[in-house]
Amino acid sequence: MDLVNTTTAEAPSPPSPSSVISAVAVSKSWGTNQVFSDVTAEVPPGITGLLGSNGSGKTTLLGMLLALHEPDSGQLRVLGQDPADAGPELRMHIGYAPEHHNLPDDVLAQDLVRHIAMVHGLPRREATTRSSDALWLVGLGEERARPIGTMSTGQRQRVKLAQAIAHGPKLALLDEPTDGLDPVQRDDMLALIRRIGTEFDIHVVLSSHLLEEVERIADNVVILANGKVRAAGPIDQLYQGQGGMTVVLDDGVTDVANTLQRAGYVAEVDRNTIRIGTDEPLEQLANAIRDAVVEHGAPLRRLDASRQSLEDLFLDEVYGS
Amino acid sequence: MSTAESAEIFDRGYRAYDGPRTGVQSSMRAVFVATVQRALGLRRKFRYKIVPLATILIAYVPALVFLGITALLPSEIAGQVVAEYAGYFELITVMMLLLTAFVVPEVMGSDRKTGLFGLYMASPLSRWSYLGAKFVGVMAVLSLVTTMPSVFQMAGYSLLGIGPDGFVEILKTLFKIVVSGLILSIFFALFGMAASTLTNRHLFASAGIVMTTIATTGFTEAIIENTDSPAWVELFSVFQVPLELIVRVWGSSDEFPGITGVSTIASFGAWAGACVLFAGIILFGYRRMEVTK
């Protein structure tokens, strides 16, 4: 598959000024372990899903975005700034919700959220008001004066989200924000993240191993594997070229399939069903099928557009077809 | 009377923020305040306040007793009973040790155990500005035991007419009290932070602080008493190192002669060397600490 904005580049182009995050030929290793190798990728504004299996470098990437680790080589820019040069200034505008569920048990939710807002540079009064607003937004308005230790996993996840956004960041890094939630809580959390990413001018990077939830709420995706960005860009664009159509005919299956193959399509026949894959927009394929069916007078029973799921895309990119 | 024109909506709910943001110093101040609050059990349940507040109050008891004795007994008798300033620091060292063992692991280890350290590192703070804020916070709490009782003692003596004579003498005494307090506070803050760097377990760190102090003191005393070892061996006692330097600040007396045969430079060197060692443990430990999980 053609990758979008990704991987090795002999002569890297400069990062786009409109990108929230851009990496040009970035490499990083821990000792002899190469975590990233000559990676080039851009993350546009909106909600971005960061997908990757264990050890794929997600943690290291988050650390680099937070300026906690410097790349060995290459250029990394977050919100238009080089993290290595603008670490503290940059982190002032980034919210971070970690993966772990540990939070200070004996601290009140509102105290923690206000404290983190103040640590991010908000004056005390603003921090107090905004921590309350953030807790109301995530559905913990009535619970804000409760010690975190008395809260459920779902409520703790919401506290983590509230502390990540209370200071009004431009970019929120959410590490596995639905971990430990039941299906209903997960749906609520995803809806909340979608709302945060669309209503409040906050770009969201969502790290997750659940492909389905990334597919549901993200505008963009970055797929990491073996130290490389295997695919990155808007999900819609990644799906383009990953689609196809399924045709079920009562008769003339071979004739129609041969016509489509002569037109350059890969058409697989299975009894009275033809599966056609394409890198082109589906509309173009639909027209070709229509013409072939008309040409042979084949009785058409069914015509479906088949689109790969993000899981197919992920498996395809990471493990090959 | 209010009108529709003057009405304002105050609760607008969550919204984007484009107001002022203060710098790293404000972030450090927030961590400093949180450190002091946590150390003293403020904004927490009553049981968290008992040990720190009791320890701090007990540190003031000798000063109160001395002031009572001075006020009630004839000066000849009182002079033999009450401790000099240098001696006061020796009296409160046990309280200092208890406060260090209780407070420092609480304010250092809990940040790592609860993941708060990771949240701090995702803020404008760096590891070093975080440690700086923590160090100043711990110092401030320890100063409540190291410096303030002696200031209280001096103020009481002055009110009773037996304090330093004149403004200059008061300033000199105050300066010595502050320097002595800093010697103790810096030493024990770094000692406690180093022990807390090595483990996330509050209990282990507290036990380590107490046991190291007792073990080094007992060990050096045993060596001095049972062998012909030179006097500087005592500088390996965690208790003795800061106290020895404090004796040098006030000048040795019959009551607190200090270690004979050890120069002030050697005494300072032992204190500074120990502080550098503790600081090295802290910096090395935090430099390697993982924060993004």
List, for residues B127-183, the tens digit of each pLDDT value. 999 999 999 999 999 999 999 999 988 888 888 777 788 889 999 999 999 999 999
Secondary structure, 3-state, chain A: CCCCCCCCCCCCCCCCCCCCEEEEEEEEEECCEEEEEEEEEEECCCEEEEEECCCCCHHHHHHHHCCCCCCCEEEEEECCECCCCCHHHHHCCEEEECCCCCCCCCCEHHHHHHHHHHHCCCCHHHHHHHHHHHHHHCCCCCCCCCEHHHCCHHHHHHHHHHHHHCCCCCEEEEECCCCCCCHHHHHHHHHHHHHHHHHCCCEEEEEECCHHHHHHHCCEEEEEECCEEEEEEEHHHHHCCCCEEEEEECCCHHHHHHHHHHCCCEEEEECCEEEEECCCCHHHHHHHHHHHHHHHCCCEEEEEEECCCHHHHHHHHHHCC
Q: Which of residues 91-110 of A touch B (CB under 8 A)?
A: 91-92, 94-96, 98-100, 102-108
Q: Can you tell me the mean pLDDT for A256-271?
A: 89
**Which of A60, A92, A108 is nearest residue B21 as measured by Cβ atoms?**
A92
Residue pLDDT, tens place only, B141-151: 999 999 999 99
What pLDDT is stored for residue B9 in this prediction?
Answer: 63
**CA dist., res. A207 & res. A153, Å (int):** 18
Report d(CA B187, CA B237) in Å as an integer.
12
Q: How far apart, in whole angstroms, are the C-alpha atoms of residue B86 and residue B230?
A: 24
Work out the angle at residue B101's Cα, subtended by the Cα atoms of residues B98 and B106, and round it to the nearest 5 degrees.
130
> A94 and B125 in contact (C-beta within 8 Å)?
no
Q: What is the mean pLDDT of residues A247-251?
A: 92
C-beta atoms surrounding B16 within 10 Å: 12
Using a CB–CB cutoff of 8 Å, tell me whether A146 touches chain B. Answer: no
B121 touches chain A (CB under 8 A): yes
Q: Does A59 score more than 90 pLDDT? A: no
- A111 and B19 within 8 Å at the Cβ level: the answer is no
Tokens of A142: 């009535």
Percent of chain B with pLDDT over 90: 46
A-B CB pairs within 8 A amount to 119
* B9 contacts in chain A (CB < 8 Å): none
On the question of pLDDT at A131 being above 90, the answer is yes
Which chain B positions have a beta carbon within 8 Å of A120's beta carbon? 21, 27, 123-124
Instruction: Kindly state the average pLDDT of the residues A48-72.
Output: 84
- The DSSP call for residue B170 is H
Task: Tell me what pLDDT residue A3 has.
Answer: 35
* Contact yes or no for A80/A17 (Cβ under 8 A): yes
Average pLDDT of B56-71?
A: 86
What order of strands is seen across the sheet that includes strand A94-97?
A: A94-97, A171-175, A203-208, A47-52, A220-225, A228-234
Kindly report the average pLDDT of chain B as a whole number.
87
Which pLDDT belongs to residue B85? 80
Task: Return the structure tokens found at A73.
Answer: 């080589």
- What is the C-alpha R_g of chain A? 24
Contact assignment for B30 to A111 by CB distance below 8 Å: no
Question: Which pLDDT score is estimated for A33?
Answer: 85
Query: What does pLDDT average to over chain A?
Result: 85
Q: Which pLDDT does position A308 carry in this prediction?
A: 63
Average pLDDT of B257-266?
76
Can you say whether the dihedral through the CA atoms of A132, A137, A142, A145 is positive or negative?
negative
Q: Smallest Cα–Cα separation from A50: which of A176, A161, A163, A159?
A: A176
Q: Which residue has the higher pLDDT, B164 or A120?
A: A120
CA A233 – CA A253 distance, rounded (Å): 37
Residue B292 clears pLDDT 80, i.e. is over it: no
The predicted pLDDT at position A60 comes to 83
- B220-232: average pLDDT: 83
- For residue A61, the chain B residue with the least C-alpha distance is B292
A30 in contact with B at a CB cutoff of 8 Å? no
Chain B positions touching A98 (Cβ under 8 A) are 115, 118-119, 122, 292-293
Per DSSP, B37 falls in state H
Chain A residues with CB inside 8 Å of B110's CB? Answer: 104
Cα distance between residue B13 and residue A137, in whole Å = 7
Verify whether the Cβ–Cβ distance B115 to A105 is below 8 Å.
no
pLDDT at residue A320 greater than cutoff 70: no
pLDDT at B250 over 60: yes
Q: Which amino acid is at B152?
A: F
Give the pLDDT confidence score for residue A317 in this predicted structure. Answer: 65
What distances in angstroms separate CA A84 from CA A1, A198, B154, one per listed residue? 34, 29, 51
Residue A4 pLDDT grade (very low, low, confident, very high; cuts 50, 70, 90): very low
Comparing A233 with B175, the larger pLDDT belongs to: B175
**% of chain A exceeding 90 in pLDDT:** 45
CA distance linking residue A246 with residue A241, whole number of Å: 15
In this predicted structure, the answer to whether residue A11 has a pLDDT above a threshold of 50 is: no
Asked if the C-beta of B37 comes within 8 angstroms of chain A's C-beta atoms, the answer is no
